């Protein structure tokens, strides 16, 4: 599925992102590499501190520049190198070719402007529309994201809308210029379960309709299962596994992925006496162990793991790429396609 | 159940973190050095080590700067330098007394007001603050000084009774915010009595505001003293930069600037240094700023 | 609702918590936010009632009202048969010792300028339990019970991760040896891999010490693991209440069914037809007439708009299953 011959829409290679803190330099992303093809949805999955948000922000050049910076690597979007672009050039790309939606819709929308104002702003800036044209286009977009009575809603303020609706407005704003790539940073985390379902369906629908690619950043593996094709699991700034979604769930190779999948609370037929856990906790990014960063929590680790950081290697029968010296055995399942 | 290990975590209280941050701020350190210098001068005066001769007539009228009189002498023949140095003590004394008491009163009343906001306690305190703020300051000071006649602390009382309101408002706002936090609810759930909650849980978390407000009050007090002394409402016994400046109004007309310059330069130095120190302090205490 | 005669620790009857909304120049009361609206349930010693619902349904308010952190505006709370609803502060203290709370936000639930030892010891100090030496030893025991070593006692909350802070909060709640703990979304703010750790901890403590829990969460999967009975809340009311087995195998109320189907399942093969609810949750300031859920219910009928359904037990006396729905009236 990911061995398409054409050039990928976004190609990230060996990306390194560092932050200067008062206790030293922290590498939030350490040699991250992945591709996103056209009309494809991939997910960056991981827990807090794994570097997924930072990676997403860096695609749009939104890393706050002191204290953070891109310290190495390359990101080619449609053949054009993004790393090192001047702010002015980046601003042309943002909103028009690459768009982003954020986790907290209340803080991402400006509370003192109406929705119509904010959307028209984006449209006029990037598509050069007049105010009236922009308003019409904005109402169309609101209808596309299933907001009822868009002609009335467009003049409302963010606080007058519910969380789910605000998120949909943000999606509408992000898509109003027909971008090729959408980066969605935890778009449903702040929403209720029933609203999450609505918003995710919306994103899927629009992805198909606009033929765009989506990088969905989330910590919720359940969300991942429902809506994506390929998932990339990150831990402590590194990619530990990259696989098609079916393979990830049926045959996870990296012990962290397996541990994560096992430990997610889920509705089970019979209650367990104890939930499976991953012992220990995520190491401090300032005091990272050498070698594999997951080794100290891993039941399969040995001396080699502590010394040498494993590289990403492909699995034999499935689509997984994983970085582990002693991976979980492969379990390719007969797939009913 | 898994045991949790702390892997080599460095012990850091919030104060030591702020301290390390402050140490790296060069402007902050330099201004702190100046402030300390002034403080030592004031200390020396209090202990009688120097400038005790500030009121003695040791020279002729309006002598120029010389080896004996570093800034020359004033109209009567007193050494200007000694007087300027002595005034440092006055400045610090006024500054510290007003800053500490005004901040203290403001903190306590602000915390009570904020914690009980929405009730009559808060309404009354807000009303008092409003009334005090609406009285024109110098009128108020004049009234207090007049009422307290020759009491040397009239000026201090006047300043304290007006400065506390701004501290109080800030603390009130912060307390209203903190009051809704869960650790306060936890204290309620445990059964901690209300006043203990205010003073043990909430007020210590306003320290960063209080510290900065205290430094602002210190500077404001010194500057206010200068104006009050100039108006004749300030220092009665003793010497201050304000009095020196007041004296020098006549002298400047006659072309003798030393008195004026001495007082102004020293005053400016202290105020400037303290302001920069306060800025650096605020930066160091701000948890969001990374240097 | 549960009419158990023995070993009932907590009995809540027709509890109401309304918040007045003021408006106009004179700040008159113009509306009421009905955060908790006629809620009744009971919890036996050592059992856990899970309370599930989405944001705004009133579950957090209910948890706090039961402890009288919010003063109820109606109804009664009985502990071991004693009515504590109207007790004054000093009389309430004795009950405060037996009823504690764990919070959702590990970052806001610990006082930032106090050390771990001070935080965990405070309940003991306030109620003057034991000598200072005994209190010191007790802190070490409590920290060990939550899986933390004695060396953490002089550290400050900001030096710990979310999961560790949550453990400290649990240690604090255990200090007074309570019979009953309200756990308000204790794992929602934690990373997934840490959630299970803390859930195991809570389940273990529950078994070891026989503590009854009111476990509040929006996550049906989390709740399944720790609860014996479950109540589903919507707009301030409990719309369904049953044992954990019954609720998950046979949810009766349309809202419960929608909730169950909306949970993202970490298993791509396990996709099922999802019930997507129309519209948004109405504001608790203006709850719809009749059944509060009728505006979004895929099976709403005329009667649902007019009259509010009563809670009916469609199970047995030993294993009750209450539903408030006209479909099961």
For B203-215, the pLDDT digits (tens) are 888 888 898 899 9
Question: Which of A325, A316, A251 is CA-nearest to residue A293?
Answer: A325
Question: Which of C69, C242, C113, C101 is CA-nearest to residue C174?
Answer: C101
Q: What is the pLDDT of residue B290?
A: 44
Angle between helices C116-126 and C162-174 (to 10 degrees): 20
**B13-38: per-residue pLDDT in tens?**
667 777 777 777 788 889 999 999 99
Give the C-alpha separation, C274 to C276, whole Å: 6
Contact A22 B7 (CB under 8 A): no
User: Which chains are adjacent to chain B, needing at least 3 Cβ pairs under 8 Å?
Assistant: A, C
Q: What is the pLDDT of residue C91?
A: 82
On the question of pLDDT at C283 being above 80, the answer is no
Neighbours of A176 (CB within 10 A): 25
**C50-76: per-residue pLDDT in tens?**
999 887 788 889 999 999 888 899 999
**A92-123: per-residue pLDDT in tens?**
888 788 999 888 777 788 888 998 998 888 88
Query: What pTM was estimated for this model as a whole?
Result: 0.81
* Contact (CB, 8 A) for C36 and C58: yes
Report helix, strand or coil for A80: strand
Q: What is the pLDDT of residue A166?
A: 86
Mean pLDDT lowest among A224-233, B85-94, B103-112, C201-210? A224-233
Regions in chain A scoring below 50 on pLDDT: 1-2, 336-337
- What's the whole-number mean pLDDT along residues C193-211? 89
* Residues across chain A: 337
Mean pLDDT lowest among A264-273, B216-225, C126-135? A264-273
Question: Which of B106, B87, B109 is CA-nearest to residue B246?
Answer: B87
Could you tell me the pLDDT band of residue B4, with boundaries at 50, 70 and 90? very low
- What's the whole-number mean pLDDT along residues C288-315? 85
Q: What is the pLDDT of residue B149?
A: 74
Q: What is the pLDDT of residue C161?
A: 84
* C238 backbone dihedrals φ, ψ, rounded to 5°: -90, 120
* pLDDT, chain B, mean: 84
Give the C-alpha separation, C280 to A162, whole Å: 7
Which member of C55, C163, C221 has the closest CB to residue A265? Answer: C221
Q: What is the pLDDT of residue A1?
A: 42
Q: What is the pLDDT of residue B3?
A: 32
* Residues across chain C: 329
Q: Name chain B contacts of C204, Cβ cutoff 8 Å.
A: 1
Q: Name chain C contacts of B1, Cβ cutoff 8 Å.
A: 147, 200-201, 204
Contact B5 C149 (CB under 8 A): yes
On the question of pLDDT at B154 being above 50, the answer is yes
For chain B, the residues whose C-beta falls within 8 A of a C-beta of chain C are 1-6, 9, 11-14, 181-183, 185-193, 196, 200-201, 204-205, 207
Q: What is the pLDDT of residue B13?
A: 62
Separation in Å, CA of C280 to nearest CA in chain A: 7
* Contact (CB, 8 A) for C295 and C288: yes
Q: Name chain A contacts of B290, Cβ cutoff 8 Å.
A: 20-22, 66-67
Q: Name chain B contacts of A284, Cβ cutoff 8 Å.
A: 7, 9
Contact B186 C155 (CB under 8 A): no
Q: Name chain C contacts of A159, Cβ cutoff 8 Å.
A: none
Q: How far is CA A298 from the centre of its chain?
A: 25
Number of B–C residue contacts, CB under 8 Å? 88
Separation in Å, CA of A279 to nearest CA in chain B: 6
Question: Which of C51, C99, C95 is CA-nearest to residue C212?
Answer: C99
Q: What is the pLDDT of residue B10?
A: 46
Q: What is the pLDDT of residue C21?
A: 81
Q: In chain C, which residue's Cα lies nearest the Cα of B177?
A: C108
Interface confidence (ipTM) of the complex: 0.79
Give the C-alpha separation, A37 to A181, whole Å: 10
Mean pLDDT lowest among A12-16, A278-282, B129-133, B241-245? A278-282
Could you tell me the pLDDT band of residue C270, with boundaries at 50, 70 and 90? low
On the question of pLDDT at C228 being above 60, the answer is yes
């Amino acid at each position: 599925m990911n061995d398409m011959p054409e050039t990928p829409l976004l190609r990230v290679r060996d990306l390194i992102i560092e932050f200067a803190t008062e206790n030293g330099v922290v590498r939030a992303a350490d040699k991250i590499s992945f591709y996103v093809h056209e009309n494809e949805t991939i997910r960056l999955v991981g827990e807090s501190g794994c570097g997924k948000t930072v990676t997403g922000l860096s695609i749009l050049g939104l890393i706050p520049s002191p204290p953070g910076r891109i310290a190495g690597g390359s990101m080619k979007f449609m053949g054009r190198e993004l790393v090192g672009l001047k702010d002015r050039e980046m601003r042309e790309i943002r909103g028009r070719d690459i768009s982003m939606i954020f986790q907290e819709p209340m803080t991402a929308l400006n509370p003192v402007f109406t929705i119509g104002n904010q959307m028209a702003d984006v449209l006029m800036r990037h598509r050069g529309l007049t105010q009236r044209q922009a308003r019409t286009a904005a109402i169309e977009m609101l209808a596309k994201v299933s907001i009822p009575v868009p002609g009335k809603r467009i003049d409302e303020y963010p606080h007058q809308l519910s969380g789910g609706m605000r998120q949909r407005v943000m999606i509408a704003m992000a898509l109003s210029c027909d971008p090729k790539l959408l980066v969605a940073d935890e778009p449903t985390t702040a929403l209720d379960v029933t609203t999450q379902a609505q918003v995710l369906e919306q994103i899927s629908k629009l992805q198909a309709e606009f033929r765009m690619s989506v990088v969905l950043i989330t910590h919720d593996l359940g969300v991942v299962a429902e809506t994506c094709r390929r998932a990339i699991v990150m831990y402590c700034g590194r990619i530990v596994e990259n696989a098609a979604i079916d393979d990830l769930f049926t045959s996870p190779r990296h012990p962290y992925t397996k541990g994560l999948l096992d430990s997610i609370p889920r509705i089970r037929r019979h209650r367990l006496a104890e939930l499976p856990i991953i012992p220990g906790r995520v190491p401090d990014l300032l005091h990272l162990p050498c070698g594999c960063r997951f080794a100290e929590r891993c039941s399969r680790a040995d001396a080699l793991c502590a010394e040498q950081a494993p590289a990403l290697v492909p699995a034999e029968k499935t689509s997984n790429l994983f970085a582990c010296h002693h991976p979980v055995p492969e379990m390719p399942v007969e797939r009913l396609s | 159940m898994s045991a949790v290990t702390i892997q080599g975590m460095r012990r850091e209280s919030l104060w030591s973190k702020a301290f390390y941050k402050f140490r790296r701020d060069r402007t902050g350190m330099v201004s702190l050095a100046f402030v300390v210098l002034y403080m030592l001068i004031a200390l020396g005066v209090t202990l009688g080590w120097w400038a005790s001769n500030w009121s003695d007539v040791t020279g002729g009228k309006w002598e120029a700067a010389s080896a004996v009189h570093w800034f020359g002498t004033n109209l009567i023949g007193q050494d200007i330098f000694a007087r300027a140095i002595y005034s440092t003590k006055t400045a610090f004394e006024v500054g510290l007394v007003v800053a500490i008491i005004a901040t203290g009163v403001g903190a306590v009343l602000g915390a009570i007001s904020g914690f009980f906001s929405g009730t009559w306690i808060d309404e009354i305190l807000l009303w008092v603050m409003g009334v005090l703020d609406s009285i024109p300051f110098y009128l108020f000071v004049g009234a207090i000084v007049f009422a307290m006649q020759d009491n040397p602390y009239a000026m201090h009382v006047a300043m304290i009774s007006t400065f506390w309101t701004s501290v109080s408002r800030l603390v009130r706002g912060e307390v209203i915010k903190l009051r809704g936090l869960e650790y306060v609810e936890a204290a309620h759930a445990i059964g901690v009595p209300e006043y203990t909650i205010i003073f043990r849980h909430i007020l210590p978390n306003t320290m960063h505001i209080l510290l900065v407000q205290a430094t602002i009050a210190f500077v404001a007090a010194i500057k206010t003293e200068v104006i009050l002394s100039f108006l004749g409402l300030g220092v009665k016994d003793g010497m201050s930069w304000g009095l020196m400046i007041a004296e020098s109004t006549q002298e400047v007309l006659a072309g003798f600037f030393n008195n004026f310059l001495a007082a102004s330069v020293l005053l400016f130095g202290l105020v400037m240094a303290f302001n920069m120190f306060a800025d650096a302090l605020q930066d160091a205490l701000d948890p969001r700023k990374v240097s | 609702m549960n009419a158990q005669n023995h070993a009932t620790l907590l009995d809540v009857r027709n509890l109401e918590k309304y918040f007045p909304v003021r408006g106009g120049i004179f700040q008159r009361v113009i509306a009421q936010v009905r955060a908790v609206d006629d809620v009744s349930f009971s919890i036996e010693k050592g059992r856990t009632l899970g309370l599930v619902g989405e944001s705004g349904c009133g579950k957090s308010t209910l948890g706090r009202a039961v402890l009288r952190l919010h003063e109820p505006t109606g109804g009664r709370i009985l502990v071991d048969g004693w009515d504590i609803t109207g007790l004054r502060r000093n009389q309430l203290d004795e009950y405060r010792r037996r009823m504690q709370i764990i919070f959702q936000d590990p970052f806001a639930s610990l006082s930032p300028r106090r050390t771990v030892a001070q935080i965990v010891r405070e309940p003991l100090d306030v109620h003057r339990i034991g000598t200072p030496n005994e209190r010191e030893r007790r802190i070490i025991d409590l920290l060990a019970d939550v899986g933390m070593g004695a060396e953490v006692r002089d550290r400050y909350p900001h030096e710990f991760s979310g999961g560790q802070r949550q453990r400290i909060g649990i240690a604090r709640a255990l200090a007074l040896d309570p019979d009953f703990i309200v756990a308000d979304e204790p794992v929602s703010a934690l990373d997934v891999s840490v959630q299970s750790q803390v859930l195991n901890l809570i389940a273990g403590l529950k078994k070891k010490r026989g503590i009854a829990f009111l476990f509040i969460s929006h996550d049906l999967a989390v709740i399944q693991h720790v609860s014996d009975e479950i109540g589903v809340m919507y707009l301030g009311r409990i719309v369904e209440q049953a044992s954990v087995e019954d609720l998950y195998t046979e949810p009766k109320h349309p809202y419960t069914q929608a909730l169950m189907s909306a949970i993202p399942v970490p298993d791509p093969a396990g996709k099922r037809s999802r019930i997507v609810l129309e519209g948004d949750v109405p504001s608790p300031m203006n709850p719809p007439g009749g059944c509060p859920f009728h505006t979004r219910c895929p099976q709403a009928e005329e009667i649902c708009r007019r009259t509010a359904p009563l809670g009916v037990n469609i199970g047995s006396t030993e294993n009750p299953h209450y539903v408030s729905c006209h479909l099961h009236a």
